[in-house]
Chain A
Amino acid sequence: MKEPVVSFYNVSKSYPLYGHIRGVKNFLFDFPRNLTSMKRERFEALQDISFDVYEGEKFGIIGRNGAGKSTTLGLIAGVLAPNRGHVVVRRRVSPLLSLGAGFHPELTGRENVELNGVLLGLTRREIRRKMDEIIEFSELGDFINRPTRVYSSGMVARLGFSVVAHLDPELMLIDEVLGVGDIRFQRKCVEKMKSFKESNVTMVLVTHSVASVMNICDRAMWIDNHQVRMMGNPTEVVEAYAAANGVSIDTRAVNKSAL
């Protein structure tokens, strides 16, 4: 077995419900109550989660809204700290930012590629070397020199995916953002991701799309109610997940190149 790139050991994550100490004023005038409630009132978003993702693996995470999928990705990305347990990550993380998050609307597509690239940990030299490839893959044509505020959401997603996919990702994190591209671009994404299979790019994919899980992932995890409910073969996990939610799906009829 290959070495794990991401390991979660009994990880629990809870969020404070800071709600009422949002200001200096409230804090000062409500001090004692705030201090005690700050310690007590916490919301458990993940409870005792353990899993490994191995080198080169495409790992899918599914679950209902609020189950804790984005929290899991936040822990991998290193923007959140667990309250209990250990998270170990052994590669450079490249999160695919949700729709335009890393983009500034006034900057052109080209400038946004640079912005995104440096935030993801690359140098400008490395980005410039890949620039043409990125632009070509995104199929944005002349729009690449226009500010991204005039882009449609699908175009933003295309550029975002192109950036992450071409900047030598080691560990890609994708959170529910791929569905907005048009059908042709979806096929390109699937092909690109499949090509990652040969290279050693690891991918953690959060999605609500049955097709994505089945077409891209080698393994899937179902997070239910902040805990791991099931882990294993993508098709089986998807079927169990759908059944548990009272949705019947025919996994054999899923389009092989859709997202």
Chain B
Amino acid sequence: MSVSQRLSEKKGGTVSHFGNARNWENQRDILFVLLQKELKVRYNNKLLGYLWSIANPLASAFVYFVAFKILMRINVPDYPLILISSVFPWQWMSNSIGSSPNMFVGNSSIIKKVNFPRNIVPLCMVSNHMIHFLMSVPVITLFLFMYGRAPTLTWLYGVPLLVMVHFAMAYGIALTLASLNLFFRDLERLVHIVLNFAFYLTPILYPVETIPERIRHLLVLNPFAPLIISWRELFIYGSFNWAYWLICAGYGALFLTIGTFVYRRLSWKFAEVL
């Protein structure tokens, strides 16, 4: 009974739970089991599952290539590399954000009954997409080799650092949207519209250089732009842009703060509104 957990202190009512504190091993195991479940449910066969997880971004990249390089004939050197190096990271971000509104609503039956740390649900979802992204790095490398380039030593710290800020941004946004969606059930449509905008406003289909010089500095207002540009520069040229990384870290911290705040404020109402 040494551990006391004061769960809520509101104007009128209070709830005090003693002996309900979960140790970190349990929290780690929840994450692990949920991840395992996710992977298992989605892909029964591991190899086939891996192929599927790369097939989708690869197919999109191919379509963009046909549309822009072959049909519209834009003149960008190594255009496939430009596409590949940004489509995969973008998939991680957009899949995480796109599926986040449904995270708590989709697990309503347990959220209504069990008081477990629910933020683990979006955490697990973002980790899941992260795993898929990491598994696609060999594919990116393969493309590099095809165009006479190779991974560099910069990757050793560049990849982990970018994964960190990417994760923070994705998880912060996902936690916010998953919580808010319980109260505004049409959030999902809105999210998809915004994601669509973000896709075209972020240098994914085009290199940064195509943006007119005088408005290029505005790019940092789009949180995804510095992130995707950093990934691309790291993958293709092996260069790590510290300024952009710091901006991404700032956005990551901001989104995490917002997400945690929104989640803390609303999580007491989850079971009521589900």
Question: Residues of A with Cβ closer than 8 Å to B?
Answer: 11-13, 15-16, 18, 21-25, 27, 74-75, 77-93, 95, 97-98, 101-102, 104, 106-107, 111, 114-115, 118-125, 170
Chain A residues with CB under 8 A of B113:
74, 77, 79, 95, 97-98, 101-102
Chain B residues with CB under 8 A of A119:
30, 110, 114, 116
The answer to whether A24 and B15 touch (CB under 8 A), given A18-B273, A78-B20, A124-B29, is: no
Q: Please tell me which one of the listed residues A12, A24, A111, A121 contacts residue B22 in the complex, with CB atoms under 8 A apart.
A: A121
Chain B, residues 235-274, CB within 8 Å of chain A (1/0): the string is: 0000000000000000000000000000000001011110
* Interface of chain B residues 17 through 75 with chain A (CB within 8 A): 17-20, 22-23, 25-26, 29-30, 32-34, 36-37, 40-41
Whether B192 sits at the interface, judged by CB under 8 Å, is no
How far is it, in angstroms, between the C-alpha of A30 and the C-alpha of B235 when the chains are bound? Answer: 48
Contact call B184/A23, Cβ cutoff below 8 A = yes
Chain B residues with CB under 8 A of A80:
268, 271-272
For the side of the interface on B, what is the size category?
Answer: 35 or more
Question: Residues of B with Cβ closer than 8 Å to A?
Answer: 1, 7-8, 10, 12-20, 22-23, 25-26, 29-30, 32-34, 36-37, 40-41, 109-116, 183-187, 190, 268, 270-273
Known: A79-B115, A118-B26, A119-B114. 19 other contacts (CB 8 A): A16-B273, A18-B273, A77-B115, A79-B271, A81-B8, A83-B13, A86-B15, A87-B16, A90-B1, A93-B115, A97-B109, A101-B110, A101-B113, A115-B37, A118-B29, A118-B30, A118-B33, A123-B23, A123-B25
Closest Cβ neighbor of A10 among chain B residues:
B13
Closest Cβ neighbor of B23 among chain A residues:
A123
How far is it, in angstroms, between the C-alpha of A71 and the C-alpha of B15 when the chains are bound? Answer: 14
How far is it, in angstroms, between the C-alpha of A12 and the C-alpha of B11 when the chains are bound? Answer: 13
Contact call B15/A16, Cβ cutoff below 8 A = no
How far is it, in angstroms, between the C-alpha of A82 and the C-alpha of B16 when the chains are bound? Answer: 11
Contact call B15/A122, Cβ cutoff below 8 A = no
Closest Cβ neighbor of B14 among chain A residues:
A86
How far is it, in angstroms, between the C-alpha of A15 and the C-alpha of B185 when the chains are bound? Answer: 18
The CB with the most chain B CB atoms within 10 A, among A81, A87, A104, is that of A81
Closest Cβ neighbor of A73 among chain B residues:
B113
Contact call B10/A115, Cβ cutoff below 8 A = no
List the 8 closest A-B pairs by CB distance, nearest first.
A82-B13, A23-B186, A78-B115, A101-B109, A79-B271, A84-B12, A24-B184, A123-B25
